[in-house]
Amino acid sequence: PYPAYQRVRTVDPIHEHPYGFWFVSGYDDVSAILRAAMSVNDRLLEDGLVRQQFDDLDEGDGRVLALTMLDRDPPDHTRLRSLVSKAFTPRKIAELEPEIVTLVDQALDRMAEAGRTDLVETLAFPLPFEVISAMLGMPSTDRDRVRDLSGTLVLSLEAATDAETAKLITAASTELVGLVRQLIERKRAEPGDDLLTALIAAESDGDRLTDDELIAQVVLLYVAGHETTVNLIANGVTALLRHPDQLALLRERPELTANAVEEMLRYDSPVQMSRRITVEPYQVGDRVIPKGAFVLAALGSANHDERYWGADAGEFRIDRENARHHVSFGAGHHHCLGAALARLEGKIAIERLVSRFPRLALAGEPTGNGRSNLRGLASVPISVG
């Protein structure tokens, strides 16, 4: 499904782009870069177009958002991640299972009633969005607004951003930071048994998140919590419906569902790229990437590298033994903190969708969401009866 990646991987796997960034596309090189001693701090970039783009985004509350763990290096990163991990624990995630089952079944009821629906609108988007909104206690009256703001904010993760979009992103960050600030104030006044209360209280050796750090991590969890999982479900179900033999295999062997989710993550990566900045010259293959360079590690390409996966890398096979070796959740110390939650949502959604509707099928051509990094589908027409 990714001919351009295949070409660049074959012709120029460590590609120096004229815009001033490096595009690395092979599995071994991507895996090594994710684990290398590189930075995520855009201020370390030497001058260039990419640096300019980040400067544009850096105004106002963009500064607060630069405090997310995704944008910090150790030791800051280590401290932020360990404080958030105190609240966002594997046990808390496992406890969400009954709620996820209820949300999925409600979505499936709506599908059954309609007969023909858009998978994104009925299930792929609302599931992760409602789960993370509930975890963070976002009032339902603010959710539509948050959905729009988040959709604008994630454009900052795209490879090329023009000045007009940068302005929109800055305005969206300011408004979202404002909403989250109110949310935190309300939660301080009325603590509950939820993730946000736990984040506010999280403490390690007397150390706590400052207000701005707390806001930044909440925005990160919110956005990362749904803008990615929607792609897992929409891309994944689409892949399944386009491969009837694999759908039949899953019906025959439902115990393959967890592995099918891994193969969905590998086959059509919900996040296509991780970014890093070199802090010293970095040797990769026969090339040397200079210090202060912006490096894009192409996760979606690594997931299809024939040298790692073999000749059938381009095939969708839910029983692929090493599917779990994909790099869709990144690797190294920024490895996705929400991977267990995403896997749980994906597994429950796929399992129940497939078992409930024996005649599940695509009812039209899916349309793309127009993004290059969080590449996914804006709509997937399906029929269930």
Residue 171 parent element (H or E): helix 163-189
Structure tokens at 383: 């029929």
Options 165-173, 310-318, 336-344, 354-362: segment touching ligand HEM (CB under 6 A): 336-344
Options 105-113, 185-193, 266-274, 357-365: segment touching ligand HEM (CB under 6 A): 266-274
What is the DSSP-derived secondary structure letter of residue 122? Answer: I
What is the DSSP-derived secondary structure letter of residue 274? Answer: E
Options 208-216, 228-236, 300-308, 377-385: segment touching ligand HEM (CB under 6 A): 228-236
Does position 232 interact with ligand HEM (CB under 6 A)? The reply is yes
Does position 199 interact with ligand HEM (CB under 6 A)? The reply is no
Does position 62 interact with ligand HEM (CB under 6 A)? The reply is no
Does position 274 interact with ligand HEM (CB under 6 A)? The reply is yes
Does position 229 interact with ligand HEM (CB under 6 A)? The reply is yes
What is the DSSP-derived secondary structure letter of residue 121? Answer: I
Q: Is the dihedral of CA 24, 30, 36, 38 positive or negative?
A: positive
The least distance separating ligand HEM from the CB of residue 232, rounded to whole angstroms, comes to: 4
Rounding to the nearest 10 degrees, give the CA dihedral for residues 88, 90, 93, 95. Answer: -120
Among 256, 336, 363, 378, binds ligand HEM (CB under 6 A): 336
Toward ligand HEM, which CB reaches closer, 170 or 229? 229
Among 9, 187, 326, 334, binds ligand HEM (CB under 6 A): 334
Does position 132 interact with ligand HEM (CB under 6 A)? The reply is yes
Tell me how many residues contact ligand HEM (CB under 6 A).
Answer: 24
Toward ligand HEM, which CB reaches closer, 303 or 384? 303
Q: Are strands 294-298 and 21-24 parallel, antiparallel or unpaired?
A: parallel
Length of the chain: 385
Q: Which residues pair with 284 in a beta bridge?
A: 287
Please name which of 299, 363, 293 lies closest in space to residue 328, comparing C-alpha atoms: 299
Among 9, 51, 81, 326, binds ligand HEM (CB under 6 A): 81
The least distance separating ligand HEM from the CB of residue 328, rounded to whole angstroms, comes to: 5
Residue nearest to ligand HEM (CB): 338
Tell me the C-alpha distance between 316 and 320, whole Å: 8
Does position 225 interact with ligand HEM (CB under 6 A)? The reply is yes
Tell me the C-alpha distance between 138 and 142, whole Å: 7
Rounding to the nearest 10 degrees, give the CA dihedral for residues 364, 312, 349, 147. Answer: -70
Q: Is the peptide bond before 75 cis (omega within 30 degrees of 0)?
A: yes
Q: Return residues touching ligand HEM (CB under 6 A).
A: 34, 69-70, 81, 132, 220-221, 224-225, 228-229, 232, 270-271, 274, 328-330, 334, 336-338, 341-342
